[in-house]
Chains A and B, each alone.
Chain A
Amino acid sequence: MNPRTAVLLLVAAAALGCAARGRPFEEVKPVPPGHSVIYVYRPYSFFGSAIAPTVRCGSQSAAIRPGAYHAFVVPAGERISCYVETETADAVDFDGGPQIQYLRERIGLGLIVGRPQLNPIDADQAQSEIQTCCVEQP
Protein backbone atom coordinates (compact mmCIF):
# COMPACT_ATOMS: atom_id res chain seq x y z
CA MET A 1 0.00 0.00 0.00
CA ASN A 2 1.45 3.32 -0.95
CA PRO A 3 1.70 6.03 1.75
CA ARG A 4 -0.91 8.28 0.13
CA THR A 5 -3.56 5.52 0.18
CA ALA A 6 -2.71 4.71 3.78
CA VAL A 7 -3.17 8.34 4.84
CA LEU A 8 -6.50 8.56 2.99
CA LEU A 9 -7.70 5.36 4.68
CA LEU A 10 -6.69 6.68 8.10
CA VAL A 11 -8.51 9.98 7.52
CA ALA A 12 -11.62 8.13 6.34
CA ALA A 13 -11.52 5.81 9.35
CA ALA A 14 -11.10 8.76 11.72
CA ALA A 15 -14.05 10.58 10.17
CA LEU A 16 -16.29 7.53 10.29
CA GLY A 17 -15.21 6.81 13.83
CA CYS A 18 -16.82 10.06 14.97
CA ALA A 19 -20.21 9.25 13.49
CA ALA A 20 -22.84 7.61 15.66
CA ARG A 21 -23.71 4.03 14.85
CA GLY A 22 -26.88 2.26 15.87
CA ARG A 23 -30.34 1.23 14.80
CA PRO A 24 -32.09 3.45 12.24
CA PHE A 25 -34.65 6.04 13.31
CA GLU A 26 -37.55 4.64 15.29
CA GLU A 27 -40.55 6.81 16.08
CA VAL A 28 -41.79 6.81 19.69
CA LYS A 29 -45.10 5.05 19.14
CA PRO A 30 -47.49 5.32 20.77
CA VAL A 31 -46.67 8.51 22.66
CA PRO A 32 -47.44 7.79 26.34
CA PRO A 33 -50.67 9.49 27.45
CA GLY A 34 -50.09 12.93 28.95
CA HIS A 35 -46.69 13.25 27.28
CA SER A 36 -45.09 14.98 24.31
CA VAL A 37 -41.98 14.00 22.37
CA ILE A 38 -39.15 16.35 21.47
CA TYR A 39 -36.82 14.80 18.91
CA VAL A 40 -33.37 16.38 18.89
CA TYR A 41 -31.35 15.20 15.91
CA ARG A 42 -27.94 16.01 14.58
CA PRO A 43 -27.33 15.22 10.90
CA TYR A 44 -23.79 14.04 10.25
CA SER A 45 -21.25 16.74 9.53
CA PHE A 46 -17.51 16.28 9.75
CA PHE A 47 -17.15 19.79 11.13
CA GLY A 48 -17.59 19.69 14.91
CA SER A 49 -17.80 15.90 14.93
CA ALA A 50 -15.26 15.64 17.75
CA ILE A 51 -17.65 17.17 20.26
CA ALA A 52 -21.02 16.07 21.57
CA PRO A 53 -22.33 18.73 23.94
CA THR A 54 -25.03 17.68 26.37
CA VAL A 55 -28.54 18.72 25.34
CA ARG A 56 -30.97 19.19 28.24
CA CYS A 57 -34.73 19.13 27.77
CA GLY A 58 -36.65 19.54 31.00
CA SER A 59 -35.07 17.21 33.54
CA GLN A 60 -33.49 14.91 30.94
CA SER A 61 -30.20 15.18 29.11
CA ALA A 62 -28.35 13.45 26.30
CA ALA A 63 -25.06 13.95 24.48
CA ILE A 64 -25.89 13.50 20.82
CA ARG A 65 -23.11 12.50 18.47
CA PRO A 66 -23.10 13.46 14.77
CA GLY A 67 -25.54 11.31 12.84
CA ALA A 68 -27.63 10.46 15.92
CA TYR A 69 -30.86 11.61 17.52
CA HIS A 70 -32.50 11.43 20.92
CA ALA A 71 -36.21 11.40 21.75
CA PHE A 72 -37.07 13.30 24.91
CA VAL A 73 -40.43 12.14 26.26
CA VAL A 74 -41.66 15.03 28.40
CA PRO A 75 -44.87 15.89 30.25
CA ALA A 76 -47.43 17.49 27.90
CA GLY A 77 -48.84 20.94 28.62
CA GLU A 78 -45.81 22.06 30.63
CA ARG A 79 -43.29 24.66 29.62
CA ILE A 80 -40.18 22.70 28.61
CA SER A 81 -36.84 24.32 27.90
CA CYS A 82 -34.15 22.69 25.79
CA TYR A 83 -30.64 23.98 26.33
CA VAL A 84 -27.15 23.30 25.00
CA GLU A 85 -23.88 25.07 25.68
CA THR A 86 -20.18 25.12 24.83
CA GLU A 87 -18.57 28.56 24.49
CA THR A 88 -22.00 29.98 23.62
CA ALA A 89 -25.45 28.63 24.43
CA ASP A 90 -28.73 28.16 22.63
CA ALA A 91 -32.11 27.57 24.21
CA VAL A 92 -35.62 26.90 22.93
CA ASP A 93 -38.84 26.94 24.95
CA PHE A 94 -41.89 24.82 24.21
CA ASP A 95 -45.25 25.86 25.65
CA GLY A 96 -47.47 22.87 25.04
CA GLY A 97 -48.30 23.09 21.34
CA PRO A 98 -48.01 20.07 19.04
CA GLN A 99 -47.44 16.69 20.65
CA ILE A 100 -44.30 16.11 18.58
CA GLN A 101 -41.58 18.72 18.13
CA TYR A 102 -38.27 18.64 16.31
CA LEU A 103 -34.98 20.38 16.99
CA ARG A 104 -31.97 20.09 14.72
CA GLU A 105 -28.63 20.44 16.43
CA ARG A 106 -25.85 22.03 14.42
CA ILE A 107 -22.29 22.80 15.44
CA GLY A 108 -21.12 26.13 14.07
CA LEU A 109 -17.75 27.79 13.99
CA GLY A 110 -16.41 28.99 17.34
CA LEU A 111 -13.28 30.75 18.55
CA ILE A 112 -11.99 27.79 20.58
CA VAL A 113 -14.62 25.09 20.27
CA GLY A 114 -17.63 24.56 17.99
CA ARG A 115 -20.83 26.35 18.97
CA PRO A 116 -24.04 24.34 19.21
CA GLN A 117 -27.31 25.63 17.79
CA LEU A 118 -30.77 24.18 18.36
CA ASN A 119 -32.96 25.04 15.41
CA PRO A 120 -36.72 24.35 15.57
CA ILE A 121 -37.67 22.56 12.36
CA ASP A 122 -41.08 22.01 10.75
CA ALA A 123 -42.36 18.45 11.00
CA ASP A 124 -42.34 17.84 7.22
CA GLN A 125 -38.70 18.80 6.81
CA ALA A 126 -37.58 17.16 10.05
CA GLN A 127 -39.24 13.83 9.28
CA SER A 128 -37.17 13.41 6.14
CA GLU A 129 -33.92 14.63 7.71
CA ILE A 130 -34.17 12.52 10.85
CA GLN A 131 -34.37 9.32 8.76
CA THR A 132 -30.62 9.66 8.15
CA CYS A 133 -29.93 9.64 11.89
CA CYS A 134 -29.62 6.59 14.06
CA VAL A 135 -30.42 5.75 17.66
CA GLU A 136 -27.68 6.98 20.00
CA GLN A 137 -25.81 4.02 21.45
CA PRO A 138 -24.37 4.45 24.94
Chain B
Amino acid sequence: MRFSRSAIASAIAALAVGFCAGCAATAQSLGGARPLSAHPLPFKGRLAMGDPDQLPPAVAMSLAANSRIGFMYREELRHEEHHSPTILSAVNPLIYFGYPMGEYTVTAFASLSILDGDQIVGEYTAQSRVTRSYTIYSQPTHRDLDAEAREAVREEIDEKLYADQGRIIAAIAGTE
Protein backbone atom coordinates (compact mmCIF):
# COMPACT_ATOMS: atom_id res chain seq x y z
CA MET B 1 0.00 0.00 0.00
CA ARG B 2 1.38 3.42 -0.94
CA PHE B 3 0.40 6.81 0.47
CA SER B 4 0.77 10.14 -1.28
CA ARG B 5 2.73 12.93 0.42
CA SER B 6 -0.45 14.96 0.96
CA ALA B 7 -2.16 12.00 2.65
CA ILE B 8 0.80 11.58 5.02
CA ALA B 9 0.87 15.34 5.73
CA SER B 10 -2.89 15.29 6.46
CA ALA B 11 -2.47 12.36 8.84
CA ILE B 12 0.37 14.12 10.69
CA ALA B 13 -1.71 17.32 10.91
CA ALA B 14 -4.69 15.37 12.27
CA LEU B 15 -2.49 13.72 14.90
CA ALA B 16 -1.00 17.09 15.87
CA VAL B 17 -4.49 18.56 16.27
CA GLY B 18 -5.49 15.59 18.41
CA PHE B 19 -2.37 15.98 20.50
CA CYS B 20 -2.99 19.67 21.11
CA ALA B 21 -6.70 19.15 21.78
CA GLY B 22 -5.67 16.74 24.49
CA CYS B 23 -3.96 19.57 26.32
CA ALA B 24 -6.85 21.98 25.96
CA ALA B 25 -7.98 23.84 29.02
CA THR B 26 -10.36 26.74 29.06
CA ALA B 27 -11.33 29.08 31.81
CA GLN B 28 -14.12 31.54 31.25
CA SER B 29 -15.07 34.22 33.68
CA LEU B 30 -18.40 35.65 32.65
CA GLY B 31 -17.67 39.03 34.15
CA GLY B 32 -14.49 39.49 32.12
CA ALA B 33 -12.20 39.83 35.14
CA ARG B 34 -8.55 40.60 34.50
CA PRO B 35 -5.68 39.82 36.84
CA LEU B 36 -4.94 42.67 39.24
CA SER B 37 -2.80 43.07 42.31
CA ALA B 38 -4.93 42.69 45.39
CA HIS B 39 -4.78 45.41 48.03
CA PRO B 40 -6.90 46.23 51.10
CA LEU B 41 -10.12 48.20 50.74
CA PRO B 42 -10.30 51.75 52.13
CA PHE B 43 -12.72 50.49 54.81
CA LYS B 44 -12.73 47.53 57.19
CA GLY B 45 -15.50 45.06 57.90
CA ARG B 46 -16.25 41.98 59.96
CA LEU B 47 -17.07 38.62 58.41
CA ALA B 48 -20.81 38.16 58.97
CA MET B 49 -21.02 35.04 56.81
CA GLY B 50 -18.41 32.92 55.05
CA ASP B 51 -15.23 30.97 55.62
CA PRO B 52 -12.28 33.23 56.57
CA ASP B 53 -9.95 30.95 54.57
CA GLN B 54 -12.08 31.15 51.42
CA LEU B 55 -12.49 34.85 50.65
CA PRO B 56 -11.61 37.21 47.82
CA PRO B 57 -8.16 38.65 48.64
CA ALA B 58 -9.42 42.26 49.01
CA VAL B 59 -12.03 41.17 51.57
CA ALA B 60 -9.56 38.94 53.42
CA MET B 61 -7.18 41.89 53.74
CA SER B 62 -9.90 44.19 55.04
CA LEU B 63 -11.28 42.23 57.99
CA ALA B 64 -11.72 43.81 61.42
CA ALA B 65 -13.58 41.88 64.11
CA ASN B 66 -15.39 44.84 65.71
CA SER B 67 -16.43 46.82 62.62
CA ARG B 68 -20.07 47.82 62.07
CA ILE B 69 -19.60 47.03 58.36
CA GLY B 70 -20.28 43.37 57.58
CA PHE B 71 -19.19 41.13 54.71
CA MET B 72 -21.38 38.21 53.68
CA TYR B 73 -19.61 35.98 51.18
CA ARG B 74 -20.85 32.78 49.61
CA GLU B 75 -19.39 30.44 47.00
CA GLU B 76 -20.99 27.51 45.24
CA LEU B 77 -19.50 25.00 42.83
CA ARG B 78 -21.29 22.94 40.21
CA HIS B 79 -19.58 20.00 38.52
CA GLU B 80 -20.21 18.42 35.15
CA GLU B 81 -18.35 15.63 33.44
CA HIS B 82 -18.27 13.90 30.12
CA HIS B 83 -16.51 10.61 29.42
CA SER B 84 -16.10 8.73 26.17
CA PRO B 85 -17.19 5.09 26.58
CA THR B 86 -14.15 3.24 27.92
CA ILE B 87 -14.38 0.40 25.44
CA LEU B 88 -14.41 2.87 22.53
CA SER B 89 -11.46 4.76 24.00
CA ALA B 90 -9.49 1.53 24.34
CA VAL B 91 -9.81 0.73 20.63
CA ASN B 92 -9.42 4.31 19.37
CA PRO B 93 -5.81 4.73 18.16
CA LEU B 94 -6.00 8.54 18.49
CA ILE B 95 -6.28 8.10 22.28
CA TYR B 96 -2.67 6.91 22.34
CA PHE B 97 -1.63 10.12 20.57
CA GLY B 98 -3.22 12.27 23.26
CA TYR B 99 -6.77 12.66 21.97
CA PRO B 100 -9.14 13.60 24.87
CA MET B 101 -11.03 10.78 26.61
CA GLY B 102 -13.40 13.16 28.36
CA GLU B 103 -13.64 16.46 30.15
CA TYR B 104 -14.48 18.00 33.48
CA THR B 105 -16.30 21.31 33.90
CA VAL B 106 -16.58 23.30 37.10
CA THR B 107 -18.82 26.34 37.37
CA ALA B 108 -18.27 28.58 40.36
CA PHE B 109 -20.79 31.14 41.59
CA ALA B 110 -19.91 33.77 44.18
CA SER B 111 -21.85 36.52 45.89
CA LEU B 112 -20.70 39.23 48.25
CA SER B 113 -22.97 41.54 50.21
CA ILE B 114 -21.69 44.49 52.22
CA LEU B 115 -23.85 45.57 55.11
CA ASP B 116 -23.78 48.73 57.14
CA GLY B 117 -25.76 47.70 60.20
CA ASP B 118 -28.91 46.14 58.70
CA GLN B 119 -28.67 48.02 55.43
CA ILE B 120 -27.12 46.46 52.33
CA VAL B 121 -24.79 49.01 50.73
CA GLY B 122 -23.24 46.77 48.08
CA GLU B 123 -23.98 43.49 46.32
CA TYR B 124 -21.71 41.75 43.83
CA THR B 125 -21.92 38.45 42.01
CA ALA B 126 -19.49 36.56 39.81
CA GLN B 127 -19.52 33.40 37.78
CA SER B 128 -16.68 31.42 36.28
CA ARG B 129 -16.58 28.25 34.23
CA VAL B 130 -13.47 26.10 33.89
CA THR B 131 -13.36 23.20 31.45
CA ARG B 132 -10.44 20.83 31.11
CA SER B 133 -10.15 17.69 29.05
CA TYR B 134 -8.14 14.68 30.12
CA THR B 135 -6.08 12.32 28.07
CA ILE B 136 -4.28 9.08 28.63
CA TYR B 137 -1.17 11.13 29.41
CA SER B 138 -2.59 13.80 31.68
CA GLN B 139 -5.51 14.04 34.03
CA PRO B 140 -6.30 17.10 36.16
CA THR B 141 -7.64 16.61 39.66
CA HIS B 142 -10.98 18.05 40.72
CA ARG B 143 -9.07 19.92 43.43
CA ASP B 144 -7.10 21.84 40.77
CA LEU B 145 -10.21 22.71 38.77
CA ASP B 146 -12.14 23.82 41.86
CA ALA B 147 -9.23 26.03 42.92
CA GLU B 148 -9.01 27.60 39.45
CA ALA B 149 -12.74 28.32 39.32
CA ARG B 150 -12.76 29.74 42.86
CA GLU B 151 -9.77 31.96 42.10
CA ALA B 152 -11.49 33.35 38.99
CA VAL B 153 -14.69 34.34 40.83
CA ARG B 154 -12.74 35.88 43.70
CA GLU B 155 -10.72 37.94 41.26
CA GLU B 156 -13.90 39.11 39.56
CA ILE B 157 -15.52 40.04 42.89
CA ASP B 158 -12.36 41.97 43.84
CA GLU B 159 -12.39 43.86 40.57
CA LYS B 160 -16.05 44.84 40.97
CA LEU B 161 -15.39 45.87 44.56
CA TYR B 162 -12.42 48.07 43.66
CA ALA B 163 -14.44 49.71 40.88
CA ASP B 164 -17.29 50.46 43.30
CA GLN B 165 -15.35 51.36 46.45
CA GLY B 166 -15.91 55.11 46.07
CA ARG B 167 -19.68 54.64 46.10
CA ILE B 168 -19.46 52.30 49.11
CA ILE B 169 -17.39 54.85 51.07
CA ALA B 170 -19.99 57.52 50.27
CA ALA B 171 -22.85 55.22 51.28
CA ILE B 172 -21.16 54.37 54.59
CA ALA B 173 -20.41 58.04 55.28
CA GLY B 174 -24.03 58.92 54.53
CA THR B 175 -25.35 56.57 57.23
CA GLU B 176 -23.03 57.87 59.97
Residues of A whose CB lies within 8 Å of any CB of B are 45, 47-48, 79, 81, 88-93, 95-96, 106, 108-111, 115, 117-122
Give B78's nearest chain A residue, CB to CB: A122
Out of B53, B86, B141, which one reaches A108, CB within 8 Å? B86
**Nearest CB in chain B: distance from A95 CB, A:** 6
Give A88's nearest chain B residue, CB to CB: B139
Residues of B whose CB lies within 8 Å of any CB of A are 51, 53-54, 77-79, 81, 83, 86-87, 89-90, 95, 101-102, 104, 134, 136, 139, 141-143, 146
- Main DSSP-derived SS at the A contact region: strand
**Nearest CB in chain B: distance from A83 CB, A:** 9
A120 and B51 contact, CB distance less than 8 A? no
Known: A108-B102, A109-B101, A109-B136. A89 touches B83 (CB 8 A): no
**Nearest CB in chain B: distance from A76 CB, A:** 13
Q: Cα distance A14–B157 when bound, in Å?
A: 55
Residues of B within 8 A of A48 (CB): 86
| 17 other A-B residue contacts (CB within 8 Å) besides A109-B90, A119-B104, A120-B142 | A81-B143, A90-B142, A91-B141, A92-B142, A92-B143, A92-B146, A93-B146, A95-B51, A108-B83, A108-B86, A108-B102, A108-B139, A109-B86, A118-B142, A119-B142, A120-B77, A120-B79
Residues of B within 8 A of A109 (CB): 86, 89-90, 95, 101, 136
Residues of A within 8 A of B54 (CB): 95
Q: Cα distance A48–B101 when bound, in Å?
A: 16
**Nearest CB in chain A: distance from B56 CB, A:** 15
Query: Which 6 pairs across A and B sit closest by C-beta, in order of nearness?
Result: A91-B143, A47-B86, A120-B79, A92-B142, A88-B139, A91-B141
Give A93's nearest chain B residue, CB to CB: B143
Out of B53, B87, B141, B146, which one reaches A47, CB within 8 Å? B87
B79 and A96 contact, CB distance less than 8 A? no
**Nearest CB in chain A: distance from B76 CB, A:** 9
A90 and B136 contact, CB distance less than 8 A? no
Residues of A within 8 A of B81 (CB): 119
**Nearest CB in chain B: distance from A99 CB, A:** 15
Residues of B within 8 A of A45 (CB): 86
**Nearest CB in chain B: distance from A129 CB, A:** 13
Q: Cα distance A115–B87 when bound, in Å?
A: 14
